[in-house]
Amino acid sequence: MWHEPDQGDAFAPHDHALCQSRALAEAEERLRQQGARLTPVRRRTLEILLEAHRAMGAYEVLDRLAEAGFGRQPPVAYRALEFLVEHGLAHRLQRLNAFAACLHPGEDHAPVFLICRVCDKVAEAHAGNVRSELSSAAGELGFTVERATVEALGLCPACAGRDAE
């Protein structure tokens, strides 16, 4: 029924409960190694992102945190989100002013994001080639790439199918 779970492919049908619990387990393991703490706010924030399984604005996350009994002030959400991003457990999507849980933390990845303009789902694509082409194009101008933002807007397979009908 489910195909073999590819952690990066949010567009493919898959078992959400499973990918959530795995991401959470990986997060705990990773943070333990780094000596960082997954405190209640941080944990809840990650769960919120994982449950939504899409990009969420900081204020949307904040509302959910408040419902769970945490503070209602922006820094509460921004701090937790920043922590997750710094530790590779979530990503920030510049194009949307939003955040999404990382679906395969642990890998040393600098992902490329695919954002469906219809359903707002976000997938992370493997993109070693994109990065290396970028570095080489930059290198021609003597520029050294340190971090890169690669975000594509378009149509996911499900929405493209619906469109075509």
Partner DNA sequence: ATCGAATTGTAATAAGGTAACAAATTGTGG
Partner DNA sequence: CCACAATTTGTTACCTTATTACAATTCGAT
Q: What is the full DSSP assignment across 102-116?
A: -SSTTS----EEEEE
Helix axes of 74-86 and 40-52: crossing angle, nearest 10 degrees: 80
Q: Rounded CA gap, 105 and 26, in Å?
A: 7
Binding mask 72-111 for a second copy (x = CB under 8 A): ----------------------xx----------------
Q: Site for DNA (CB under 7 A): how many residues? A: 23
Q: Does 39 interact with a second copy (rule: CB under 8 A)?
A: no
Neighbours of 4 (CB within 10 A): 6
Q: Does 143 interact with DNA (rule: CB under 7 A)?
A: no
Q: Does 17 interact with a second copy (rule: CB under 8 A)?
A: no
Residues in 2-61 that interact with DNA by CB under 7 A: 36-37, 39-42, 57-60
C-alpha distances out from residue 108 to 59, 111, 123, 127, 133, Å: 29, 9, 17, 12, 18
Judged by CB under 7 A, which of 51, 78, 106, 119 binds DNA?
Answer: 78
Task: Pick the piece of the chain touching a second copy (CB under 8 A) from 31-39, 54-62, 101-109, 137-145.
Answer: 137-145
